[in-house]
Amino acid sequence: MKITLPAQVETVISILADEGFKAYIVGGSVRDCLMGKTPFDWDITTQAKPAEIARTFMKHKVIETGIKHGTLTVILDGLSMEITTFRIDGEYSDNRRPDSVEFTTDLMQDLSRRDFTMNALAYSMQEGLVDEFGGVEDIKNNIIRCVGSPDVRFGEDALRILRALRFASVLDFDIEPETAESLLNNRNLLKNVAAERKQVELIKLLCGKAVEGVLLAFRDVVFEIIPELITTSGFDPHDGENQVMDLYEHSAFGVALIKNEPELRMAMLLLASGKPACLTLDENAIGRFHGHASAGEEVALAVLKRLRFSKHFTQEVAQLVRYQDNPVFEDPKMLKKTLTKLGKEFFKKLLLVKRADLLAFIPAKLDGVAAVNELEDQMDRLLEQDFCFSIGDLKINGTDLIDLGLPAGRAVGSMLERLFDAVIEEKTVNENSALIRTAKEFMEILNNR
Let me know: does 101 contact 69? Beta carbons within 8 Å.
yes
Rg (CA), the chain: 29
Cα–Cα distance for residue pair 219/214, rounded to 1 Å: 8
Q: Is 88:111 a contact under the CB 8 Å cutoff?
A: no
What pLDDT sits at residue 337? Answer: 83
* Residue % of the chain over a pLDDT of 70: 98
- Under a CB-based contact definition with an 8 Å cutoff, are residues 118 and 31 in contact? yes
Q: What average pLDDT does the segment 67-84 reach?
A: 92
- Pairwise pLDDT comparison (387 vs 419), residue with the higher score: 419
- 370, burial (CB in 10 Å: exposed 0-12, middle 13-18, buried 19+): exposed
* C-alpha separations of 276 from 54, 107, 108, 230, 236 in Å: 58, 53, 51, 10, 9
Strand partners, 122: 26, 130
Average pLDDT over residues 395-419: 91
Asked if residue 265 has pLDDT above 60, the reply is yes
For residue 112, give every residue at least 6 positions away whose Cβ sits within 8 Å of its Cβ, in sequence order, or none.
120, 132, 133, 147, 148
Q: What is the pTM (predicted TM-score) of this model?
A: 0.87
**pLDDT for 242:** 55
Mean pLDDT throughout 133-142? 98
The Cα–Cα gap between 219 and 212 comes to 10
Over the chain, what is the mean pLDDT? 93
Q: Which pLDDT band, with edges at 50, 70 and 90, does 237 fall under?
A: confident
User: Do residues 90 and 98 make contact, with C-beta atoms less than 8 angstroms apart?
Assistant: yes
Amino acid at 67: I
First to last CA, the chain: 90
Contact 252, 235 (CB under 8 A): no
Whether the predicted pLDDT of 380 surpasses 80: yes
The tens digit of pLDDT for each residue in 326-359 reads: 988 888 878 888 888 898 899 999 999 999 999 9
Query: pLDDT (tens digit, 9 = 90+) per residue, 190-203?
Result: 999 999 999 999 99
User: Position 81: which residue type?
Assistant: M
Binned at pLDDT 50, 70 and 90, residue 94 comes out as low
- Give the distance, in angstroms, between the CA of residue 410 and the centroid of all CA atoms in the same chain: 44
> Is it the case that residue 79 has pLDDT exceeding 70?
yes
What separation in angstroms does the CA of 226 have from each of 76, 155, 231, 266, 273?
A: 42, 21, 11, 12, 10
**pLDDT tens per residue, range 162-214:** 999 999 999 999 999 999 999 999 999 999 999 999 999 999 999 999 999 99
Asked if the bond preceding 227 is cis, omega within 30° of 0, the reply is no
Separation CA 427–CA 439 (nearest Å): 12
List the one residue out of 286, 216, 294, 297 whose CA is nearest residue 252: 216
